[in-house]
């Protein structure tokens, strides 16, 4: 290669490097105003909404290409996709939490054409408080014997801020006879729990089914529902012997 060609090649290289550097210097850059975590705090079950404000803090035009979400319960809506330097826009957020209980955490990821911020993650948090917490939410019996009660324990907690009254269990559509140690209405103080023992006495062989309900004084959750599940066998079924 001649000296002239070498000089020309070097000059082109310097020009390309300068062009790339200039583009980097004028690239848009995304910032979430207020930080990359939003916390609703303690809230009741509902569809949670908020508006995030984002800003282009770079020196060039910034385009928001997409907003990805961590689950189908989250819906983001971008007010404006292209931002001039210093310009802001809103991203509306909706999270369906009407059936949730306790701490939840979701996220969105904002995809941009900014070299420094090709993706920006935002964490969404909340603690869903219910008046009544039930664990487990079903009554299960495995190989219950016909005519013999099988006990199952359900813990009911007053997780609200007011006294909670719970009524004795009622049964519907069950192929078992149900009894309980909760025989009259009881009132729980906020934070207080009651372990309710439910006895399931199968009336037929096969899969168990039915629904147990308990009325409460909570306007938010006026009824506790417990599904009955499991299996029942004849009382004279011999147990399996180990060999």
Q: Is the pLDDT of residue 17 over 90?
A: no
* Residue 101 sits in the same domain as residue 191: no
Position 143 in a domain: yes
Domain assignment present for 153: yes
The average pLDDT across 222-233 equals: 95
**Is residue 215 assigned to a domain?**
yes
Q: Please tell me whether residue 194 adopts helix, strand or coil conformation.
A: strand
Residue burial 82-108, b: 16+ Cβ < 10 Å; e: rest: ebeeeeebebebebbbeebbeebebbb
73, burial (CB in 10 Å: exposed 0-12, middle 13-18, buried 19+): middle
Residue 187: pLDDT over 90: yes
Residue with tokens 């999270």: 95
**Cβ partners under 8 Å of residue 15, min gap 6:** none
Provide the CATH number for the domain around residue 137: 2.60.40.10
For the segment 111-141, what is each residue's pLDDT rounded down to a tens digit? 999 999 999 999 999 999 889 999 998 999 9
Identify which of 68, 59, 75 has the alpha carbon closest to the alpha carbon of residue 25: 59
Domain count within the chain? 2
Distance CA 83, CA 151 (A): 63
Last residue of a domain, one of 82, 105, 128: 128
Structural domain range at position 202: 132-233
pTM: 0.65
Backbone angles phi, psi at 24, to 5 degrees: -65, -40
- Exposure of 61 in the CB half-sphere (CA atoms within 13 A): 5
């Amino acid at each position: 290669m001649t000296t002239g060609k070498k000089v020309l090649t070097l000059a082109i290289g310097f020009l390309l490097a300068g062009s790339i550097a200039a583009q980097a210097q004028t690239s848009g850059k995304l910032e979430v105003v207020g930080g990359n975590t939003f916390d609703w705090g303690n809230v009741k079950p509902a569809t949670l909404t908020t508006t995030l404000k984002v800003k282009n803090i770079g020196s060039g035009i910034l385009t928001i290409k997409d907003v990805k979400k961590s689950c189908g319960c989250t819906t983001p809506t971008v007010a404006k996709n292209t931002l001039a330097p210093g310009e802001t826009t809103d991203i509306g957020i909706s999270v369906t939490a009407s059936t949730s209980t306790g701490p939840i955490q979701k996220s969105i990821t904002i995809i941009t054409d900014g070299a420094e911020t090709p993706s920006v993650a935002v964490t969404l948090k909340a603690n869903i408080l219910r008046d009544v917490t039930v664990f487990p939410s079903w009554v299960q019996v495995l190989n219950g014997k016909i005519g013999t009660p099988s006990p199952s324990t359900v813990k009911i907690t007053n997780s609200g801020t007011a006294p909670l009254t719970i009524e004795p269990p009622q049964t519907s559509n069950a192929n078992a006879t149900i009894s309980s140690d909760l025989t009259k209405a009881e009132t729980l103080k906020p934070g207080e729990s009651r372990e309710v023992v439910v006895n399931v006495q199968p009336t037929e062989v096969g899969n168990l089914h039915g629904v147990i309900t308990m009325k409460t004084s909570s306007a938010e959750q006026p009824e506790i529902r417990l599904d009955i599940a499991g299996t029942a066998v004849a009382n004279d079924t011999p147990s399996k012997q180990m060999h």
